[in-house]
Structure 1
Amino acid sequence: MKTVTLLTGTTLWLLFAAWGAGALWFRWPAAKPLVVLMWALSAVCVVVWCWRGHWAPSLLAALVLGAMLLFWWQSIRPSNNRRWADDVARQLVPTVDGDQVTLDNVRDFRWRTPDDYDVRWETRHYDLSQLRSVDTVLSYWMGPAIAHTLVSFGFADGRYLTFSIEIRKERGESFSAIGGFFKQFEATLVAADERDIVRVRTNVRGEDDYLYRVQMPPEAMRSLFLAYLAKAERLRSHPRWYNTATANCTTIVFQMMRHIVHGLPLDPRLLLSGYLPEYLARVGALTPGYDVATLRRDGRITERARDAGDAADFSQLIRAGVPGIDPSLPAR
């Protein structure tokens, strides 16, 4: 029993020590190698003392080290005041008056390369009574299991507005999935034109994109749209850390949807977002009458987006042939 207790305690402590090393590496402001080395040596000393029978001092040392680390960790707060990269420099500012919605800071960049683009932020007006459709776009950038999730709302006049939960990069930063576990990035909500936010992925970054029509009643569409606006307001007043596992582009959308559609089940595919179509099919949210393989094949928009370029009817062109979408009817 004593050996089992030692093994269990040692394992838990070493897991905590490994997390602490990652936290120090990504968030300690200076001399990171030295600080991480000191932390690792301290953690090893605790284990050695424990196995040599010095239970009381090793436990006290573990408690003190752990408390110091957690106190420091909790002191790191998210902020909206940093030197942000251009594409996340502004935050969405919504104004809602009944069905009429005014959105300040809608992004409509024109991208030529990742570093060459025209900065364009616009004020746009939408009538929620004209909301007609919801689509999800999955953009694959790291194998079949990982995709970025975007949600696009279509209106009767043929316009589409896309929402995307993203990391709020500082100038010179790039995405790190591991860093996303350690408070490296704040989260932001981007509202953008599809010619910006879809085309930059397919045509500039070389990602592979798939579009699926989501089956939702009008009241649920409206509720989800307003939930995005509420999320934008919340992030503007209360900045939040992005987290690769618990607060990412898919899980935050799921949290909003759970307040609209009660009883949505948890599923590993919410973390492995590349398999989100299988989850959506499971809950009956995709176009009926098609299997997932067909929806994926016909919903691949990568080549269509590249061919469409900067065309004014970009949104209509990428939807040609997608199951459940009649291209002759705007946003339907």
Structure 2
Amino acid sequence: MRWRWAGVWCGRVAWGMLGLLGAAALYYSTLQPDMLRLGLSVAFPLLMYGTAWVRPVRWGHAFRAALVLGLTGWYVTDPPRNDRIWAQEYAIPADAWQEGNDIHVRHVRNFRYHTPTSYIPAWYDATYRLDGLQSVDLVTSYWAGDAIAHVFLSFGFSDGRHLAISIETRRQARFAYSTIAGFFHHYELFYVTADERDLIGVRTDIRHERVYLYRLNLSPEVREHLFLSYVNAIHDLIGHPQWYNTLTDNCTTGILARAGARLRYRLDWRVILSGHTAAMAYDMDLLGPYDRSRLPDFSALHAASRIIRPPGATLGPDYSRDIRAHLPPPEGPAEP
């Protein structure tokens, strides 16, 4: 009898969890109008609970199973889209494609920020020489503690230009940002492809976050492969939108996917707690190479790699050069 009641309670807990999960999936969905979305998110768990009183009991189980299967069927066929009303910073996606040695990028974002919420929108088109790709930098930005950071890459070219690319949520204008919402079909995937004065500058000069920049120790072939992987991903999203997911397809796991990293690296706890991603890269010999006599461990490198902006600094045309002026230089190019 005791085991029977234990089984009954375990079943009730499981159904209850499914009810709450379904409510969250509906609440954080993109269904319109909002009253429909909110109404369904309330109705689903109530219906799940109500079926507990259906007799005979097997009919209650059948109704609950039908509700769960129906919700699951809707969820897995709910398509991501590109035609929503987006927040302005995500309104215009970049496109990128290769023509021989030239990489063309349309809509490089270059917003001019006055405050974190006040800016002048701007975009430009650019062409980069693939044989001019000289560096890839890992950027980590902290806005609270040390456990979580926003992580992205910046590609440097021989003509002094840099193209920063950040894998982010594409947020609709009607929604505020929510980490929890990112676990569901709430945001589309978006590659912010931007001038460093926008993507890094807003963090160093406007939001005043703690921003660190590290040179990645990559061979020319790996640099090129990584950049082209980003180019192809950006282009694919134009015709084939994808859902963003906080756990499986976020700013950090997206970088590893583009790099073709093995699954065990994507599941490393330092990827989940993205504030430690640079430390993981250091342990894998992917940073630098730096002078170990001056920077004997990651703690020293981390402290030296913070971007420090002097009082009165502006987001001018020399921003990319200025932020690197005091950073520890790599000892030399990565070996093929």
Normalization by structure 2: what TM-score? 0.87
SS for the counterpart of 2:251 is coil
Specify the alignment match of 1:255 in structure 2. Answer: 257
Specify the alignment match of 1:195 in structure 2. Answer: 197
Amino acid at match of 1:284: D
- Within 5 Å, give how 1:7-22 maps onto structure 2: 7-22=9-24
* Segment of structure 1 superposing worse, 231-240 or 201-210: 201-210
Is 1:273 aligned to residue 279 of structure 2?
no
- Within 5 Å, give how 1:92-111 maps onto structure 2: 92-111=94-113
* Segment of structure 1 superposing worse, 77-86 or 186-195: 77-86
- Within 5 Å, give how 1:1-332 maps onto structure 2: 1-27=3-29, 28-29=31-32, 30-46=35-51, 55-258=57-260, 264=265, 266-288=267-289, 289=292, 290=295, 291-301=297-307, 303-304=308-309, 308-325=313-330
* Segment of structure 1 superposing worse, 78-87 or 267-276: 78-87
Contact 2:150–2:251 at 8 Å: present in 1 too?
yes
* Segment of structure 1 superposing worse, 1-10 or 186-195: 1-10
* Segment of structure 1 superposing worse, 127-136 or 199-208: 199-208
Shift, 1:67, TM fit? 1.3
Q: Deviations over 1:286-325 (max 9, x none)?
A: 2343422112211111x32775421322112112332334
Residues 265 and 44 of structure 1, relative CA distance in 2, 3 Å threshold = closer
Shift, 1:137, TM fit? 0.7
Amino acid at match of 1:125: T
SS for the counterpart of 1:161 is strand
Contact 2:80–2:243 at 8 Å: present in 1 too?
yes
Residues 192 and 306 of structure 1, relative CA distance in 2, 3 Å threshold = farther
Contact 1:305–1:317 at 8 Å: present in 2 too?
no
Shift, 1:189, TM fit? 1.0
Q: For residues 140 and 18 of structure 1, what CA distance do their matches in structure 2 show?
A: 32
**Structure 2: tracts of 5 or more residues without a match:** none
Contact 1:185–1:241 at 8 Å: present in 2 too?
yes
* Segment of structure 1 superposing worse, 290-299 or 3-12: 3-12
Amino acid at match of 1:158: G
SS for the counterpart of 2:237 is helix
Contact 2:94–2:108 at 8 Å: present in 1 too?
yes
Contact 1:308–1:317 at 8 Å: present in 2 too?
no
Residues 43 and 122 of structure 1, relative CA distance in 2, 3 Å threshold = same
Normalization by structure 1: what TM-score? 0.88
Q: For residues 68 and 310 of structure 2, what CA distance do their matches in structure 1 show?
A: 51
Contact 1:199–1:305 at 8 Å: present in 2 too?
no
Q: For residues 184 and 200 of structure 1, what CA distance do their matches in structure 2 show?
A: 25
Q: For residues 220 and 239 of structure 1, what CA distance do their matches in structure 2 show?
A: 26
Residues 176 and 251 of structure 1, relative CA distance in 2, 3 Å threshold = same
Shift, 1:10, TM fit? 3.0
SS for the counterpart of 1:250 is helix
* Segment of structure 1 superposing worse, 123-132 or 88-97: 88-97
Query: Identity across aligned pairs (percent)?
Result: 34
Shift, 1:91, TM fit? 1.8
Q: For residues 262 and 181 of structure 1, what CA distance do their matches in structure 2 show?
A: 19
Moved over 4 A (4+): 31-34, 46-49, 261-265
Q: For residues 181 and 159 of structure 1, what CA distance do their matches in structure 2 show?
A: 35
Q: For residues 150 and 48 of structure 1, what CA distance do their matches in structure 2 show?
A: 52
Shift, 1:55, TM fit? 4.5
User: How many matched pairs?
Assistant: 322
